[in-house]
């Protein structure tokens, strides 16, 4: 099996500001988004999925329209979001962008991003803003990764992929992402499997949570899934090869699919409401079409893994994160524990 070369690490050129706190040193909610973590089990169990939802996920590889935020919480997060978008301040069509161009934004915390692409496609007519690491910068984004409305279902769904009989597992934070499509010029995100980009970790024990901060429609580029594609693998369980690191070529994945997979390639739109999330398997083939409406389409993504996941590389797992040697457990302040089933035990 062949794939494109690994994307080279490009250093973040934003000027470091010593007086800007790095929130990755705080391994619990600050309290700005939903308060503190609950202390009683019922405050967690209210977020649990039912057996039918878990079975749907196991069979299809995704679950959609789970409410995780109120509209008021979304609006507050969007105020932070806007600070990181060049096209919210300037003419969209001039924002061709480049890799890790965080230095183009005046926000004092820009040096903390692992990746920042004002427009990852580098095409001014098809703009996709994509970034990783914002949980280190603002309290609202920081607290989002700890929200029980997200972590509790993730624990259940991660457990459902295991064969050890557990109904829930401890969950660690992997990394966050923002995907934003401006009005009229918003780009697509090409079909892909997330774990194709994450083979630097083993075993495959991950969960992706995509949160709609604007209502998603067919016209503005809602997320689409290919049901049951989480069973598509190569070479004894490996993910499909990467066909486009920058997500530009929407249909490029079809060049490496089998005839049977092409026959099964029937996209389902998620049509997420504002404040609602989808949860999907690391091998789920998903993507989204362009935004040609007069309003932006913005989403926050939080990625997790089950406790016990190890590094599969001697390179940094993320830009400017200390190396965790190949074969060692992924731990440390960049990968905090966000949920433990033990917390459901009565105190």
What secondary structure does DSSP assign to 106-171, as a single string? --TTGGG-SEEES-TT-BTTBB-EEEE-GGGT-HHHHHHTT-HHHHHHHHHHHHHT-SS--S---E
CA distances from 251 to 64, 189, 240, 262 (A): 23, 10, 14, 11
| pLDDT over 70 (residue 136) | yes
Whether residue 158 contacts residue 344, with contact meaning beta carbons closer than 8 Å, is answered with: no
Q: With b meaning 16 or more CB within 10 Å and e meaning fewer, what string describes 241-264?
A: bbbbbbbbebeebeeebeeebeeb
Query: 10 pLDDT exceeds 80?
Result: no
CA-closest candidate to residue 218, choices 278, 267, 251? 267
**For position 164, what pLDDT does the model report?**
86
Q: Is the pLDDT of residue 297 over 90?
A: yes
Q: What is the pLDDT of residue 122?
A: 85
2 vs 117 pLDDT, higher one = 117
| Domain 55-89+106-345: top CATH class | mainly beta
Look at residue 249 in the predicted model and tell me its pLDDT: 87
Among 118-127, 181-190, 229-238, whose mean pLDDT is lowest?
Answer: 118-127
Mean pLDDT of 36-60: 95
pLDDT at 91: 61
User: According to the model, what pLDDT value does residue 90 have?
Assistant: 59
The candidate with the shortest Cα–Cα distance to 33, out of 275, 208, 271, is: 275
- Single out the residue of 324, 9, 303 nearest to residue 133, CA to CA: 303
User: How does residue 1 score in pLDDT terms, banded at 50, 70 and 90?
Assistant: very low
Cβ of 119: how many Cβ atoms within 10 Å?
25
Asked whether residue 12 carries a pLDDT value surpassing 90, the answer given is: no
**SS3 state at 347:** coil
Residue 125's pLDDT is what?
A: 87
- Indicate the pairing of strand 276-280 with strand 115-117: unpaired
Residue with tokens 């194709």: 196
Mean of all residue pLDDT scores within the chain = 93
Q: How far is CA 83 from CA 18, 118, 129, 239, in A?
A: 20, 12, 12, 35
The mean per-residue pLDDT over the stretch 220-233 comes to 98
Domain ranges of the chain: 55-89+106-345
**Least confident segment among 78-92, 202-216, 269-283, 294-308:** 78-92
Residue 3: pLDDT band with limits 50, 70, 90: very low
CA–CA separation, 22 vs 18, rounded Å? 10
Residues 6+ apart with CB under 8 A from 207: 154, 157, 158, 171, 279, 280, 281, 282, 303, 304, 305
Lowest average pLDDT, out of 21-35, 74-88, 258-272, goes to 74-88
Averaged pLDDT, 232-260: 91
Checking if the pLDDT of 16 tops 80, the result is: yes
Q: Which long-range contacts (CB under 8 A, 24 or more apart) does 3-10 make?
A: 3/196, 3/241, 3/242, 3/243, 4/241, 4/242, 4/243, 4/244, 4/245, 7/245, 9/315, 9/316, 9/319, 10/99, 10/100, 10/319
Does residue 158 surpass a pLDDT of 90? yes
In the chain, the N- to C-terminal Cα span, in Å, equals: 51
């Amino acid at each position: 099996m062949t794939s494109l070369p690994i994307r080279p690490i490009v250093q973040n050129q934003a000027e470091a500001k010593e007086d800007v706190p790095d929130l990755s040193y705080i391994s619990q909610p600050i309290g700005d988004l939903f308060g503190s973590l609950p202390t009683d089990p019922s405050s967690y169990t209210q977020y649990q999925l039912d057996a039918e939802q878990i079975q749907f996920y196991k069979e299809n590889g995704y679950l959609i329209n789970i409410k995780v935020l109120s509209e008021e919480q979304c609006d507050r997060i969007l105020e932070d979001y806007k600070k990181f978008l060049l096209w919210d301040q300037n003419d969209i069509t001039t924002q061709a962008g480049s890799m890790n161009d965080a230095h183009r934004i005046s926000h004092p915390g820009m040096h903390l991003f692992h990746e920042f692409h004002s427009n990852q496609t580098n095409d001014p007519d098809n703009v996709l803003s994509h970034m990783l690491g914002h949980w280190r910068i603002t309290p609202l984004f920081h607290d989002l990764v700890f929200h029980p409305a997200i972590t509790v279902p993730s624990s259940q769904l991660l457990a459902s992929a295991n064969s050890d009989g557990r109904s829930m597992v401890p969950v660690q934070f992997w990394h966050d992402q923002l995907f934003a499509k401006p009005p009229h010029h918003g780009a697509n995100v090409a079909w892909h499997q997330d774990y194709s980009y994450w083979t630097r970790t083993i075993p495959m024990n991950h969960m992706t949570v995509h949160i709609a901060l604007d209502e998603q429609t067919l016209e503005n580029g809602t997320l689409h899934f290919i049901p049951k594609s989480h069973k598509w693998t190569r070479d004894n369980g490996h993910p499909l090869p990467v066909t486009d690191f920058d997500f530009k070529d929407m249909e490029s994945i079809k060049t490496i699919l089998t005839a049977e997979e092409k026959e099964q390639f029937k996209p389902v739109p998620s049509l997420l409401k504002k404040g609602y999330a989808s949860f999907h398997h690391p091998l789920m083939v998903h993507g989204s079409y362009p935004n040609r409406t007069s309003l932006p389409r913005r989403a926050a993504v939080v990625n997790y893994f089950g406790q016990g996941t190890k590094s599969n590389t001697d390179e940094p797992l993320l830009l400017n994160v200390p190396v965790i040697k190949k074969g060692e457990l992924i731990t440390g302040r960049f990968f905090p524990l966000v949920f433990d089933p033990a917390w459901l035990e009565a105190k």
